[in-house]
C-alpha cells in the first residue's frame, strides 16, 4: 500500500535509502560536531579561511583525520571547503564560536560531562519498553539527584543551559509585548537572563526573579548598575507557593522537566497567586501534530531518557491548564524552538 504523498513531503528531497542511512549513522555527525566544537575550530576561523595544516597545527590534531572530520561537517553546512584543504566559516559554524552556542553544543554532546549521559542514551530501549527513565536505571537515581551529588557535572550542565538561554532569550523578549505589564515574576528564572532581556526592552517594567534560595543569591545578569531598583529576588519553591502581586508570571523551560501531575501542582500554585487580570506565560516547545519536523520532537526523546518530563502539544498544555483552573488564550511563536503560551484564569 502506497504512503500518501503528504506524509512524505518533509523528506521529499531525500531518497528512502539515504534517509535511513543518514539516520542510522547520525550519531557520527553529532559526534563530529562535538569534536570540532571542543577543538575550537570555529574560533580559529573567525578572521577568515585557513589551510588545513594551520588548523591541525593549532589544535594538535592528525592532519588527515582532521580533514576527514571537517569534510564531513562541510557536507552538512557546518564549515565550507572554499578551495582544496582550505576551510572557512558558514553561518552555522559561527554558532560554534565561544560566546555563541559553543557551550550548548558541548552540553548536547555530553550532558553530564562524565560519560553517564551516553550510558543512559544507550539504554533508550528500556524507556521504550517500560516507560521508565533510562538514566534512573543506569545510575539508580533521578537525573537532578545525580547532578546534586556530582558538582562538576552540575556546573557543566548549568553552563550549557545558560549558553542556550543566551541565544534564546533575545528572541523571546523581542517576540512578545511585555511592556503591557507593570510587573513580571519569572518563576525558576535561574540567573535572570530572560528578565534582563525583557527589562532592557521595557524601561518602566519591574521584575521579581524567583528560584531556589541558593540560585537567586547572586543573579549573574541582573545588576543595580544596569537596572537600578527595578528588580528584586525571592527564594522559594514553586511546588509550594509563588509570590503574589505580579501582572504576569513566566515559566520558561520549566514544565517540560516535570510529569503531568507535577506540572499541575506548579500551575495551581501560579493560579492561587493570580487575580482575574493576571497572565501566565509558559515558554516551552509546542510540539506540532503529524509528520512536521520540530526540535521539540527530538528533545522529547531526551526528556524520556532522563526523567518524567516531556515536550507537549497544544492540546496537552490545554489539559494541564484546565486542571489548574486556567485556560489557554494565545500562542506566540518566536524565532527559536520555543513558543509563548498565554494562559488566563478560567
Please name which of 240, 248, 143, 252 lies closest in space to residue 188, comparing C-alpha atoms.
Answer: 252
- Which class in CATH covers the domain with range 154-345? alpha beta
pLDDT of residue 124: 95
Count of alpha carbons within 13 angstroms of residue 215, beta-carbon side: 18
Supply the pTM of this predicted model. 0.89
* 282 touches 251 (CB < 8 A): yes
Q: How many CB atoms lie within 10 A of CB 108?
A: 17
The DSSP line for 40-65 is THHHHTTTS-EEHHHHHHHHT--HHH
- Looking up cell 550549557 gives 160
pLDDT of residue 26: 92
Positions of the chain with pLDDT lower than 50, given as ranges: 1-8
- Looking up cell 521508565 gives 132
- Looking up cell 576527514 gives 68
* 116 touches 135 (CB < 8 A): yes
C-alpha distances (whole Å) from 284 to each of 160, 173, 249, 311, 339 are: 17, 14, 14, 8, 6
Go through 218-246 and write b for each residue having 16 or more CB atoms within 10 A of its CB, e for each that does not: ebebbeeeebeebbebeebebeeebeeeb
- The Cα 311–Cα 299 span in angstroms is 7
pLDDT of residue 5: 46
Q: Which CATH architecture has domain 12-100?
A: Orthogonal Bundle (1.10)
Annotated catalytic residue 256: yes
* 339 touches 285 (CB < 8 A): yes
| In the chain, domain spans | 12-100, 154-345
Considering the candidates 11, 154, 256, 294, report the single residue annotated as catalytic.
256
Go through 289-301 and write b for each residue having 16 or more CB atoms within 10 A of its CB, e for each that does not: eeeeeeebeebbe
* 251 touches 311 (CB < 8 A): no
Amino acid at each position: 500500500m502506497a504512503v500518501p504523498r503528504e506524509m512524505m513531503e518533509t523528506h521529499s528531497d531525500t531518497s528512502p535509502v539515504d534517509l535511513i542511512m543518514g539516520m542510522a549513522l547520525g550519531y557520527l555527525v553529532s559526534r563530529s560536531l562535538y569534536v570540532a566544537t571542543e577543538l575550537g575550530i570555529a574560533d580559529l576561523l573567525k578572521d577568515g579561511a585557513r589551510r588545513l595544516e594551520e588548523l591541525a597545527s593549532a589544535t594538535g590534531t592528525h592532519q588527515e583525520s582532521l580533514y576527514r572530520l571537517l569534510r564531513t561537517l562541510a557536507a552538512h553546512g557546518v564549515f565550507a571547503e572554499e578551495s582544496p584543504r582550505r576551510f572557512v566559516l558558514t553561518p552555522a559554524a559561527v554558532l560554534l564560536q565561544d560566546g555563541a552556542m559553543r557551550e550548548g553544543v558541548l552540553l548536547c554532546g555530553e550532558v553530564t560531562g562524565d560519560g553517564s549521559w551516553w550510558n543512559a542514551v544507550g539504554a533508550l530501549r528500556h524507556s521504550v519498553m517500560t516507560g521508565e527513565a533510562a538514566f534512573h536505571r543506569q545510575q539508580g537515581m533521578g537525573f537532578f539527584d545525580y547532578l546534586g551529588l556530582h558538582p562538576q557535572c552540575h556546573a557543566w550542565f548549568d553552563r550549557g543551559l545558560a549558553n542556550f538561554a543566551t541565544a534564546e532569550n533575545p528572541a523571546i523578549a523581542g517576540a512578545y509585548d511585555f511592556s503591557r505589564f507593570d510587573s513580571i515574576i519569572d518563576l525558576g528564572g535561574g540567573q535572570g537572563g530572560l528578565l534582563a532581556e525583557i527589562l532592557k526592552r521595557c524601561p518602566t517594567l519591574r521584575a521579581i526573579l524567583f528560584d531556589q534560595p541558593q540560585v537567586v543569591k547572586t543573579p549573574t545578569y541582573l545588576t543595580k548598575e544596569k537596572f537600578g531598583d527595578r528588580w528584586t529576588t525571592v527564594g522559594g519553591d514553586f511546588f509550594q507557593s509563588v509570590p503574589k502581586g505580579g501582572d504576569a508570571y513566566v515559566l520558561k523551560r520549566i514544565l517540560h522537566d516535570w510529569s503531568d501531575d507535577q506540572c499541575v501542582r506548579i500551575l495551581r500554585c501560579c493560579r492561587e497567586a493570580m487575580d482575574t487580570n493576571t497572565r501566565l506565560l509558559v515558554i516551552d516547545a509546542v510540539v506540532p501534530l503529524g509528520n512536521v519536523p520540530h526540535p521539540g520532537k527530538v528533545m522529547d526523546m531526551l526528556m524520556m531518557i532522563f526523567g518524567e518530563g516531556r515536550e507537549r502539544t497544544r492540546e496537552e498544555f490545554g489539559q494541564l491548564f484546565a486542571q489548574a483552573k486556567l485556560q489557554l488564550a494565545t500562542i506566540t511563536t518566536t524565532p527559536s524552538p520555543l513558543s509563548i503560551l498565554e494562559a488566563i484564569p478560567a
